[in-house]
Structure 1
Amino acid sequence: MSVYTHGGDLAAYVIAAGEGDALLLGAGAELDVWNARTGGEQITDLTDADGVPLPKIVASDGTDGFEAGQIPPYKAPLPAVWLGEAGNPAASRVMSITVDTPDMITDALERAAAAQTAAVAAAAYAAELAASSSVSGHEQKADPHPQYATDARGDARWLVGKPAPHGPLSEPLWVHRLTSQPATSSADTAQWYVTHNGVEYLLWWWNERGYPRYEQKPGALYENLVVAIGAYNGTGYPILVERRESNGTTRTQVGGFDKDGRQLLSLHPWTALAAIDPNGLGRYTQSPSGETLGARWDANDTVRLRGRLRASSSTVSGDVMATLPAGFAPSHDRMLVVPVSNGAATAIEIMSTGAIVCRRANTGPPFDISLDDLTFTT
């Protein structure tokens, strides 16, 4: 809100009627301030020259550095106010004009001069813009906006994809949502080209569903398409493969490569055999000297077994010694040779039903039949 200074000048005196035609200076007279000659509203947000609130205006008594009857400087929210006898709204009122008027005139003149200068500059810019407003002139003029990656116009202009430094994000910087399932013939969502010897090559792209694709091209056939750099002391895997389970939420780690480039097979869990001596022959049990009998997936549709079967009596060809867990049986029967702790070897057959069958009799019990690191393809 603007504030204006009143009083303190030659016209700011209170004159009171004396005897006869005599006029007296109204020393100590109290005045109210109004926003109109009659009626209107009384102005109460008044201060002295130092900003101290004033409940009303009091004419000087001559002891405060001003002449008796003179109205000391005060500040009001209007450039023109009306003064009347305090406590008497019906009393006649006299206008008071702010003593800031000369400064206000000077400020207005300065503003007018600045506006004139701006108008001249705007007219000159408008003339320049009009001269280049043709299509050819517009295309020839460089785009001065730094937020664009090129100074080209129209479809050849795009925003610079480099945000300013910022703290952690509460939402992604870039989100692209497809509102329907794209067909295989739909356009890629992104493409990156490089020109070599005058020929343009597509190096990488995100296909119609947003999956990344890479291809070696002339000019950089030595480049590796995918590089994962692991720390020498890293405990995380540079490449990890997870499987989304059927419940839609669980993710199971199933493979990858460690920091030394070794294929990760140990992520697959061991599954206990479905049964040992399923026909109740009384000859086969879990050996106490080996690992728990089990199976797990290895690389390339390969199943790996572990553990040892303890034979408490001579084995008989055709015995079903154990049964694989569900899902691990081969598509066709597999004949394999396994070591036996009595120094011999024996033949077994892993059936497509999952049965592990003895195919060569062994004597000299008790002995262990080792399935450790036995592998077969499914």
Structure 2
Amino acid sequence: MSDRFRNYGKHHEAYQKSIREEISHHLEQTFSAHDSQLWLALRELVTRSLSGGKGLRATCAFLGFQLAQEDEVAPAPENLVALGAALETYQASALTHDDYIDHSELRRGNPSVPALAHQLANRLGLAPSAQEYVSAAATFVGDLTLGMAFEFLGNAVQGLEESASLLSTFATMTSRVAIGQYLDTTLDFTSADSLSPAKALEVISYKTAGYSVITPVCLGAILGGMPSEDVRQLEAALAPWGFGFQLRDDQLGAFGISKETGKPTASDLKNGKRTVLMARTLEILEQEDPQAKAELVELLAPRRSRTEQDIARMAELLAEVSSQELLEKEIATLAEEGEAALDRLDFISPEALAQLKSLGQSLLWRRV
């Protein structure tokens, strides 16, 4: 690594610390004047939604910003810290809504916001209406953190020539995730017999590929002053990694261990998620063992309450067609395609490209 990136790690660590402080300060301003039981419960829920996490999207923005610079990596400016806070609070919003829709009880090794809301319902004496309270709490906490994200984004764009582009790109990201969430949920309510890899990939293209990797890097690059045409080329080059990131998530959702992922073991199997992994398995079984496909379709039936025995059998069927190995090959192919596409970008320096490839490795080959 050249001298330009010699202090990257130090400044990135300070940047992440500044983001945490910025979010903490915002929470203090929002809640410090209120001490009623209802306000304290809301604060606990919001704090839970924002706790933990790897700060991945903020990291992507930090690196995107550096791609647009020519000087040595320096401490992050205030507007980059605000952008990082916007991305992390938006992530909290998306996960809160996602956990409610998927009935997930665990997030980042702790009770999810809906699970905590259920505990709070008992504490607040709302047990007769606990489920209604959980529904409302998860919805409004997700909405509140979405609002916080745009507050931080407003701070990020103050006085910048690039403000319109940043606002538009961020808003488009949130809209696409909502579309992806709708497509994902609708697939979950339809028979898996009609599930195809194309349908599952369409969900990824809207729901996670953009907001997990591609858009955060591009937002950082826009903030750093990268020309719009270069940003468009960068966005296209990162697309394979965005898809690869979600395929890794599919693998961890089916085979990951709870103490490592912070989510329930085999959560995607328990929830009957229509992932690319599942779509590929059904596609292979249709050719090789139609009876086994019919069994898997039945196990994936909407509204089915899947038992531990059901989940174990689903895992067996995935293993029978070597689905995990096939997924690893697909991720490896996407990793190579992304690297090749980035190599073709003549506006990124070799040292910046090396840093970007290092990030790509951590995204696609992670185990948590």
Higher fraction of strand? 1
Higher fraction of helix? 2
TM-score using structure 1 length? 0.18
Higher relative contact order (CA 8 A, sep 6+): 2
Question: Which structure has the larger Rg?
Answer: 1
